[in-house]
Amino acid sequence: MNRSRRQIVLLMTDSTRQDMVGCYGNPDMHTPNLDSLAERGIRYQNAYTCQPVCGPARSALFTGIYPHSNGSFTNCVPLGANVKTIGQRLTDAGLRTAYIGKWHLDGGDYFGLGTCPEGWDPDYWYDMRCYLEELTEEERLASRDSATSAKGISADFTFGHRCVNRALDFLHRHGTEDFFLTVSLDEPHDPGLCPEPYASMFADYEFPKAPNVWDTLEGKPQYQKCWAGKNRETDRDAVKIKAPRFLGCNAFADAELGRVLDCVRACAPEAMVIYTSDHGDGLESHCLHSKGPVMYNEIARIPLLIAGPGVPQGVVDGHPVSHINLPAMILEYMGLPIPRCFEGKSLLQEVYDPEIRTNDYVITEFTRYEIDHDGFGGLQMMRAIYDGRYKLAVHLLDPVDEFYDMDADPWEMKNLIGDEAYDREKVRLHKLLLEWMNATRDPFRGYQWELRPWRKDVEAPTWSYTGYTRQRENEEYEPRQLDYATGLPMEEAVRRK
């Protein structure tokens, strides 16, 4: 690797599932810029979000700590007061950091509070509240109306274009410095505004139907059947997946990110570039729409592309990876120590050598969609694990869990949770999942997660459960926790109580 600067550009879109990026197998998607980025680097085939909801997904990506640990385990709940973002950590290490775009981590509504969080350059802070406050009342209404694109708008009217303008300014001004720049578009998320030719590009297009469009959720959890609603009653042969605004805006987002990529090549050619999305979208797979408490690939598996100095080109990596690996990777790339409180391993060595496998497994969780909404299933406690072949999802409030053999059933059609032939693998993953919940201090952990109907080998529950105390460790930003029994600094964070 030959570089003289520590520079990273992180690009994000919202709700982009893998097969909405052409390099993942559907060239109809018209994403030439992201496809080109994949050719210059690595495409991760099995990358997963930590939680398939906008805010919680970002909370893990920008703190290195899972949503259940950092406090933002649902939309409209802010990060914990003692949780530091990677922006804060990099700024304190002397690097310039800028966050431009959708944040969704301040506890405000969808648009945010318009206030730059600690650790990011306030000169470039620009969340969706900032955007709306630039608009007249009439323009605000238009900006939230999906029919606006059909009336004809310019790119300059969109949030994404204005975000990118600020990113270009940052790169022109600071492209010779050490920096970390995030450009987080809301597009192609509803209302999916975009100018021509994108607004009409997919007017007559039918998105390809995967086999799991015919999955009517027999043998699956009840909450998924509630989520699907009347979709389960429709003639699945007759289903046509048409999403012209969503897919058109997806192509527009690629064009906007292309402006950033062009500027990176001109102003910061040594920068590592990362592209990802917060989560996917059901688009009728499993009769579902949008996102929610599942680890189905269409919703929880996300695009992840990485290119830059020392990164092999045109490579496809099939190992399971996660957003939780990126904060540690970013700090390692910048030459900084990885904090003890981080809950994911750095992906950096696997980036340089895709033969290396960083994770034995990855985890996706779900607690609640949003505090403000009664809908979207309300409270749905899910913890799910995937090891590269098998996938187990445990649903605390539903009697039916899920288990899939992804080699035999890549479309996740047949729930094998009741198949005794897979008991060994189910129990193995379940034990790993419970260990992870304990190790990460999951506030919702407890014996209830262990007592699943298909587990015949567990002992009777006890009030003390594991019998351990697990205190927080964050040596950089706060004093060491005090032991309850002595009032002295704890010697062991994990110990018998």
pLDDT of residue 1: 60
pLDDT digit string (tens) for 33-61? 999 999 999 999 999 999 999 999 999 99
Instruction: Tell me the HSE value of 48 on the side-chain side, using a 13 A CA sphere.
Output: 26
Q: How many CB atoms lie within 10 A of CB 165?
A: 16
71 with 77: CB under 8 angstroms?
Answer: yes
Question: Residue 422 in 3-state DSSP?
Answer: helix
pLDDT of residue 378: 86
Task: Provide the whole-model pTM.
Answer: 0.97
pLDDT digit string (tens) for 142-163? 999 999 999 999 999 999 999 9
Q: What is the CATH superfamily name and number for domain 7-360?
A: Alkaline Phosphatase, subunit A (3.40.720.10)
Report residue 10's pLDDT band, with 50, 70 and 90 as the boundaries: very high
Instruction: Please say if the pLDDT value at position 299 is more than 80.
Output: yes
Instruction: Please say if the pLDDT value at position 333 is more than 90.
Output: yes
CA distance 289 to 207: 14
Strand pairing report for 494-496 and 468-470: antiparallel
**% of the chain at pLDDT higher than 90:** 93
Q: Is the peptide bond before 191 cis (omega within 30 degrees of 0)?
A: yes
Fold of 366-496: Arylsulfatase, C-terminal domain (3.30.1120)
Strand pairing report for 96-101 and 179-184: parallel
pLDDT digit string (tens) for 229-275? 999 999 999 999 999 999 999 999 999 999 999 999 999 999 999 99
Instruction: Please say if the pLDDT value at position 497 is more than 90.
Output: no
What's the distance, Cα to Cα, between the start and end of the chain in Å? Answer: 48
Instruction: Please say if the pLDDT value at position 450 is more than 70.
Output: yes
Closest listed residue to residue 44, CA positions, set 259, 286, 326, 261: 326
Report residue 27's pLDDT band, with 50, 70 and 90 as the boundaries: very high
Sign of the dihedral defined by the CA atoms of residues 368, 372, 378, 379, in that order: positive
128 with 110: CB under 8 angstroms?
Answer: yes
CA distance 387 to 409: 15
Helices then strands, each counted (H, E), the chain: 15, 14
> Can you name the residues that pair with 366 across neighbouring β-strands?
382
List CB contacts of 399: < 8 A, sequence separation 6 or more: 222, 453
Instruction: Please say if the pLDDT value at position 3 is more than 90.
Output: no
Instruction: Please say if the pLDDT value at position 307 is more than 80.
Output: yes
Parts of the chain belonging to CATH 3.40.720.10: 7-360
304 with 34: CB under 8 angstroms?
Answer: no
Catalogue the active-site residues.
Answer: 54, 104
CA distance 64 to 328: 7
DSSP 177: S
Instruction: Please say if the pLDDT value at position 90 is more than 70.
Output: yes
pLDDT of residue 286: 98
Closest listed residue to residue 186, CA positions, set 164, 153, 207, 154: 164
Instruction: Please say if the pLDDT value at position 377 is more than 90.
Output: no
pLDDT of residue 478: 87
Closest listed residue to residue 115, CA positions, set 133, 92, 94: 133
Mean pLDDT of the chain: 96
Structure tokens at 192: 């999916």
Residue 342's identity, in one-letter code, is F
Output 283 or 1, whichever has higher pLDDT: 283
| DSSP character string of 4-68 | SS-EEEEEEESS--GGGSGGGT-GGG--HHHHHHHHTEEEEEEEE-SSSSHHHHHHHHTTSS-HH
Instruction: Please say if the pLDDT value at position 2 is more than 80.
Output: no
Structure tokens at 102: 């959708």
Instruction: Please say if the pLDDT value at position 191 is more than 70.
Output: yes
**% of the chain at pLDDT higher than 70:** 100
Instruction: Please say if the pLDDT value at position 290 is more than 70.
Output: yes
Parts of the chain belonging to CATH 3.30.1120.10: 366-496
pLDDT, mean of residues 332-361:
97
404 with 416: CB under 8 angstroms?
Answer: yes
Closest listed residue to residue 133, CA positions, set 160, 152, 114: 114
Instruction: Please say if the pLDDT value at position 88 is more than 90.
Output: yes
- Residue 271 backbone dihedrals phi, psi, to 5 degrees: -70, 140
